[in-house]
Structure 1
Amino acid sequence: MRRLVTALALLLAVLLLGPGPITAVPAHADGGTPPYAPIDRPGPRLTVPARTLDASLDCHGNPRTGPRPILLNPATSVTPEENYSWNWAPLFAKAGRYYCYVTMPHHTFGDIQVAGQYLVHAIRTMYRTTGRRIAILGHSQGGMSPRWALRFWPDTRAKVAELVGMAPSNHGTRSIPGCLVGLTTCVPAVWQQQAGSSFMNALNSRAETFAGIDYTNVYTMLDEVVTPPPSSGLTTGRGRIANIRVQDVCPLDPWEHVTTGTVSPATYAVVMDALDHAGPARLSRIDRSLCGRLHMPGIDPLDVASFTPVLTALPSLVSTVVPLVTFSGAPLLRREPALRCYVYAAGC
């Protein structure tokens, strides 16, 4: 297992050299940037068919017992099974925690505005099923995209107690050089996660966090995908926020972007501190005894079959950083998708 993830990390490091482009925010009629929707305006009607949304949610355990229910939201290029079934899910099952996967179209390569509808539905459904506010755990895009639902569908905020992001792309990245507007084609989610994209400007408009929700963002200075790594953090709004570097927990933690959300024992320690206590994670309280481990608990290096999802994820994972190529069925576009009308102050 160690050889597999190390080889994957090296491959990604080779592919991800060079600065990424900055996509301009579309100009408003007066030549300035567009005003964005008020933070408390009711969200739009969901346009993804209800049957499709229902089929996207896969839940396990007893919804009425155990620790706080948790929604597992996948990273770009992978399904939730590929991201979580061999590491986090067994831990939550053992703890008696009710958890759900949400599966996005096109291996999470599609328009994140559409993914936001899947998340709105998942949040509402889990809250209705459990009768409790939920936690959301997400890796990379999965730690960022729930904020789209919280930003533009205010009713979801009272249903979410905690959002934990593992190397989340909260402000995009400068490390995918191949997406050049008008010159190359890339899948929607890659365009949208460029630093300075219209999507990122809308996502972080007015407030990054909201009162009553705890936000924990754990990131590594070895991240070669989300750069600069501290951009994973959040600063504005009324939510309670903890932005924690892996190196402040375990200085010698060797894991990069992909493995920070799937293998790192330091990330595990931060996540569990957040989930097991009121409020976001607290650096002074985190269990550093895990720093002597090679991987997080829940992974069995001898269970070769459990790593099948890792192998199936590799082609799509590598294609994330390659323009003009997709194995997911997601459309290849020459620029990022236009923002939906509900994003703007003028509305629809």
Structure 2
Amino acid sequence: MASRLHRHGHIDINSVKNSHPNPSTTIYPQLSPRDALYQVQEDDLRSAIHIPEGFQHGQDGKVPVVLVPGTGSFGGEAFECNFAKLLKASKFGDPVWLNIPGKMCDDAVINAEYVAYAINYISTTCNKKLTVVAWSQGNLSVQWSLKYWPSTRRQVSNFICLSADFRGTASARLLAPAHAVPCTPSVRQQRRRSNFITTLLSNGGDSAYVPTTSIYSKTDEIVQPQFGKWASALMHDERQVGVTNCEVQAVAGKKPAGRLYTHFTLMSNPLAWALTEDAICNGGPGRLDRIDMGCCMHTKAPGLTMLDVAKTQKLAFTCGKAVLSFSPKLKYEPSLPLYCVDEKRTYVPVDEADIEKASQEARV
């Protein structure tokens, strides 16, 4: 399976034009009659999957891991110096990632189609269940996929969430002000109480569909609030599939792993990596009672350098530039697709005044 090369022969880890064979099982336009129909062409969905050289398709006993990036990034640049590097060096995980056209800035519903297709494509080509690790908006894409493409649920053994904004973020108002002001589509969709967020969380969408481990930082500068019962990343478990919610400051306390971690550097946090390893190796969500809490005495995951941490933090500039330069910007949220527009919405968000008060307290 080949990926596009740079002029000098180097693999382009951020290529959106990757060449892969057709799946052995028909997964387009649906794998299951219960799945939504894709709007994106299958060739485009498949070419966004980057499969590194050396990927063993589960034949070496390792678990295939699909990495899903956040707003303003391709999977290659988002994970190169953190989770992709750690998984490649591990004995248990084998990573692939998504390079979605538009760097996750376009309609979040379309971004989710790429995720749904990738889950079914990789799991069927490997003939085994996989783990999904998502960062930032990538978590919304995964949860949307699990909700509206039910076939993906039986393909996913674990969902690892990093810096998720399942309930949106109050900070999105800075880049997505009042309606009629042009804005990057997926940023407006990540506002609290947006149509996209409300629809995602309705009818049980605020609860896990597969074993889920959500890891987040109270000092996240992009997603707020992100602590306690207010945390946007908090996942419920009404289906009893197994959920672990981990605010690193609440667990690590004053130890190094509980210090100031940003929306970006959480991907280098040693506790986040320890829970990910535990979940993949043992099945079900990562469990704090199974990991060596000595990991909290470090500031970065073993195997990462300070340069890796610095490059991960540099994503703040990369993503910000992509968000600001994205075109076309829209004055309103993109319309929701027909498969969910008539859905009865039962999700009622908590009072917005309480959310704002909690955010202010967190900043203090």
Q: TM-score, normalised on structure 2? A: 0.75
Are 1:87 and 2:82 matched, yes or no? yes
Match of 2:132 in 1: 136
Distance 1:241 1:302 in 2: 33
Q: Cα deviation per residue 1:78-110 (whole Å; 9 max; x = unaligned)? A: 111111111211221122532211111211111
Q: Secondary structure at the match of 2:304?
A: coil
Is contact 1:79–1:104 with CA below 8 Å preserved after alignment? yes
How far apart are the structure 2 equivalents of 1:58 and 1:283? 32
> How far apart, in 1, do the equivalents of 2:295 and 2:224 lie?
26
Taking only the aligned residue pairs, the percentage that are identical comes to: 25
Alpha-carbon deviations, 1:154-207, whole Å to 9, x = none? 111111111110111111111233222335222111111111111011111111
Q: CA–CA distance in 2 between the matches of 1:302 and 1:135?
A: 27
Q: Which residue of 1 aligns with 2:349?
A: none
SS of the aligned residue for 1:273 comes to helix
Query: Is 1:59–1:98's contact at 8 Å kept on the other side of the alignment?
Result: no
Partner of 1:326: 324
User: 5 Å matches for 1:166-245?
Assistant: 166-178=162-174, 179-208=176-205, 209=207, 213-229=210-226, 230-238=231-239, 239-245=241-247
CA contact (8 A) 1:181 1:335 kept: no
- Which residue in the other structure is 2:122 paired with? 126
What is the match of residue 280 of structure 1? 285
Contact 1:192 1:199 (C-alpha < 8 Å) held by counterparts: yes
Aligned-pair distance for 1:246? 0.5
Paired with 2:120 and 2:296, the residues of 1 have a C-alpha distance of: 37
* Displacement after TM superposition at 1:294 (Å): 2.3
Q: Which has the higher contact order (CA 8 A, sep 6+)?
A: 1
Out of 10, 34, 45, the position equivalent to 1:42 is: 34
Match of 2:296, as an amino acid? C
Indicate the residue corresponding to 2:334 in structure 1.
Answer: 337
1:291 to 282, 293, 296: 296
- Taking the aligned partners of 2:306 and 2:292, their CA distance within structure 1 comes to 22
Equivalent position SS for 2:334: coil
- Displacement of 1:343 in angstroms is 0.8
Shift of the 200–159 alpha-carbon distance from structure 1 to 2, 3 Å rule, reads same
Q: Please say if residues 135 and 163 of structure 2, whose CA atoms lie closer than 8 Å, have aligned partners that are also in contact.
A: yes
Q: Tell me, which stretches of 5 or more residues in structure 2 are unaligned?
A: 1-31, 345-364
**Which residue in 2 is equivalent to 1:13?**
none
C-alpha contact (below 8 Å) 1:139/1:261 kept by paired residues: no
Verify the 8 A CA contact 1:169 1:226 in the aligned structure 2.
Answer: yes
Higher mean C-alpha deviation, range 127-136 or range 81-90: 81-90
* Number of corresponding residues: 299
Provide the rounded CA distance (Å) in 1 between the counterparts of 2:296 and 2:343: 50
* Residue 99 (structure 1) aligns with: 95
Counterpart of 2:15 in structure 1 is none
Partner of 2:202, secondary structure, is coil
Worse overlay, 111-120 or 222-231: 222-231
Cα displacement (A) at 1:254: 2.2
**Amino acid corresponding to residue 334 of structure 2 in structure 1:** P
Aligned partners of 2:164, 2:312: CA distance in 1, in Å? 21
Once residues 168 and 309 of structure 1 are traced to their aligned partners in structure 2, the CA distance between those partners, rounded to angstroms, is: 17
Deviation at 1:342, TM superposition (A): 0.7
Q: CA deviation at 1:308?
A: 6.3
- Partners of 1:88 and 1:344 in 2: how far apart? 35
- Residue type matched to 2:49 in 1? L
116-125 vs 247-256, which moves further: 247-256
Name the residue aligned to 1:55.
47
Q: Whole-Å Cα distance in 2 between the matches of residues 132 and 255 of structure 1?
A: 38
Contact 1:255–1:264 under 8 Å retained in 2:
no
Compared with structure 1, are the counterparts of its residues 302 and 244 closer, same or farther at alpha carbon in structure 2 (3 Å cutoff)? closer
1:68 aligned residue: 63
Structure-2 change in CA distance of 1:330 and 1:150 (3 Å)? farther
Contact 1:41 1:154 in 2 (8 A): no
In the aligned structure 2, how far is the partner of 1:314 from the partner of 1:180? 20
Secondary structure of the 2:173 match is coil
| Corresponding residue of 2:160 | 164
Aligned AA (2:87): F
User: Structure 2 CA distance, aligned partners of 1:90 and 1:247?
Assistant: 25
Partner amino acid, structure 2, of 1:89: A
Q: Distance in 2 between matches of 1:214 and 1:228?
A: 24
